[in-house]
Amino acid sequence: MTAPVVYKVGGPALEDPALLGPLAAEVKRASGPVVLVHGGGRQVNRLLEALAIESRFIEGRRVTSPEAMEVVEMVLSGLANKALAAGLTTAGVLAAGISCRDAGLVMARLEPNLGRVGLPETVRPALVQALWAAGIVPVVSPVASTEDGASVNVNADEAALGLARSLGASALVYLSDVDGVRIGDSAVSSLTAREAEARITDGTIAGGMVLKVRVALEAARSIPQVVIAGRARLEGRFAGTTITAEEVRS
């Protein structure tokens, strides 16, 4: 089998119905079987706010109380997951929505001081492979389980990396609300580890992009192609920023 391609879908690619057709076309062009892992942070934020449940972040990760975890799972594994799978199917890509909890797809370990937040620890890709065998594209919510079966909030970028490694992916594409990593006034076509660390240190790369870039750099150590991209990629205007794992030297 040709090596698969993993997409992490967030931002406009997840929320704008007009981009479902271009996203489906991107999936059809992929060189191998595809799995999509999605986020949905803004939808989660809206429901948490409506329910008066506190929402805060530490270094790009949502601090998740048990009450917030119920909302996270409801939105990500429910509304966002099923809408994306149905939209892709309507656009001509047969897709099925699952979560990292299904068939033990991703087991996670809890991170300290963040509540129900975890990092991928074990990936069992049998369910993804079964869907591929049936000609179906898996659309995956990043909500995972701990070893005792409880739900845990996993950052979608990190869930996508865990799946990409387990599946031996040839490419990992992060589609978000930016068209790439911006240095100055525009997104750059490529970024090395040395350049990334320098731009993080001087504050050029900041906020949630710091975690995204660090995860992408980690991915580039074992995955041949890693890209941070957005709407412009789907519209054929800019393919995104290719991340390379050049070692940082002192």
- Asked if residues 8 and 156 have their Cβ atoms less than 8 Å apart, the reply is yes
For residue 29, what is the enclosing H or E element?
helix 20-29
pLDDT of residue 177: 87
- Asked if residues 71 and 48 have their Cβ atoms less than 8 Å apart, the reply is yes
Strands 151-154 and 144-145, by their bridges, are antiparallel
Residues pairing with 182 in the sheet: 187
pLDDT of residue 211: 86
pLDDT of residue 61: 84
CB atoms under 10 Å from CB of 50, counted, come to 9
Active centre residues (catalytic): 8, 11, 41, 157, 212
pTM for the structure as a whole: 0.93
pLDDT tens by residue, the chain, 250 residues: 799 999 999 988 888 999 999 999 999 999 899 999 999 999 999 999 999 998 888 887 899 999 999 999 999 999 999 999 999 999 999 999 999 999 999 999 999 999 999 999 999 999 999 999 999 999 999 999 999 999 999 999 999 999 999 999 999 999 988 899 998 888 999 999 899 989 999 999 988 888 889 999 999 999 999 999 999 999 999 999 999 986 544 4
Closest CA to 130 of 159, 158, 167: 167
